[in-house]
């Protein structure tokens, strides 16, 4: 039986509670919900990429990608992506950003995805994304 490995990329802060940014076991990698925080700076609190949905979505996708890469995966290994928005009015804009991002990534096949509205994110954060990947 393979061991479970916690993943925290160098760009990420240490989680504030007992959880991991990602966990890999065998060929399964689960990326925990990521938000649009800029790369970690020692001694500085996490900082959102900006106030706009675009800035936060692109940074959130970069943060998910960093966890995937830390676990030896890529977007092509992603089987499922879950997006949580804080405002139903952001659906169309997020879809445009999401589509353009994955086109730029050269993704061979799009992962399954779902988007829902969730109002429980910390103040100022507009989006959270998690992903499930299968390697090999």
- Mean pLDDT for each 10-residue chunk of the chain (136 residues)? 90 86 97 96 91 98 98 97 97 97 93 93 94 96
> What confidence score (pLDDT) does residue 130 get?
98
> What confidence score (pLDDT) does residue 75 get?
97
Whole-number Å distance between alpha carbons of 91 and 63: 20
Which single residue is written with the structure tokens 């240490």? 14
Identify the three-state secondary structure at position 120: coil
> What confidence score (pLDDT) does residue 85 get?
97
Q: What is the pTM of this model?
A: 0.95
Longest CA–CA separation in the chain, Å: 45
């Amino acid at each position: 039986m393979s061991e479970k490995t916690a993943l925290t990329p160098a760009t990420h802060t240490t989680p504030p509670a007992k959880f991991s940014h990602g966990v890999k076991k065998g060929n399964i990698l689960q990326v925990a919900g990521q938000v649009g925080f800029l790369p970690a700076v020692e001694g500085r609190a996490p900082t959102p990429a900006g106030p706009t949905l675009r800035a936060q979505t692109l940074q959130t996708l970069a943060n998910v990608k960093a966890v995937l890469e830390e676990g030896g995966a890529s977007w092509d290994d992603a089987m499922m992506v879950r997006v949580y928005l804080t405002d139903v009015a952001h659906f169309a804009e997020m879809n445009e950003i999401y589509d353009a991002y994955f086109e730029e990534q050269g993704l061979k096949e799009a992962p399954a995805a779902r988007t829902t509205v969730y109002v429980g994110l910390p103040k100022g954060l507009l989006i959270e994304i998690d992903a499930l990947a299968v390697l090999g």
